[in-house]
A = this chain, B = another copy of it.
Amino acid sequence: MTCSDFYASLLRAGGVRSTSQRLAILHTLHHSGGHLVATEVFARAVQELPSLTEPTVYRTLDFLCERGFVRATHSGGGRLEYELAGEMHHHIVCKECGATRDFPHDQFQAIYDHLEAQTGYRLTEHHLTLWGLCPNCKP
């Protein structure tokens, strides 16, 4: 099964139409390792699909987020970054060299449970990003 076939069936399984634009954007996010702002998604995806336009990228990213295929995060700078929704994880970003490392969500779950009990909120979403100095950039 090719990459595109995979995403095509993923979309259809989610009950939405499979279009070349959506596939190009999912493919781009997959091969970039995520963490792309909208303009970068466009810049890369348009190389796969030259007819792609900016408005379509914005609308498609919104759509894919709403449907849960894609997740929006942020790494500072005030611009949302997009990545494929998959295994739950977060990011540590090096402020010096930009190196990014993922870490799993597991260890936060206990705190989230505790916060639900404490506040009465039911938690459904979260953004968590850490910054610091990676081992190489530490003095």
Contact = CB atoms under 8 A, between A and B. Distances in A.
Nearest to A101: B119
A127 B92 contact: no
B123 A130 contact: yes
A133 B121 contact: yes
Contacts of A111: 107-108, 111
Chain multiplicity (copies): 2
A118 B101 CA distance: 12
B124 A131 contact: yes
A116 B119 CA distance: 28
Interface stretch (A12-20, A28-36, A49-57, A73-81): A73-81
Given A107-B111, A108-B111, A132 B123 contact: yes
A112 interface: yes
Contact of A92 (B78, B103, B115): B115
A103 B125 contact: no
A129 interface: yes
A78 B38 CA distance: 11
Interface of A: 72, 74, 76, 78-80, 92, 94-95, 101, 103, 107-108, 111-112, 114-116, 118-135, 138
Give 10 closest A-B pairs by Cβ, nearest first.
Answer: A78-B80, A120-B135, A123-B132, A125-B131, A121-B132, A126-B130, A124-B132, A122-B133, A128-B128, A122-B132
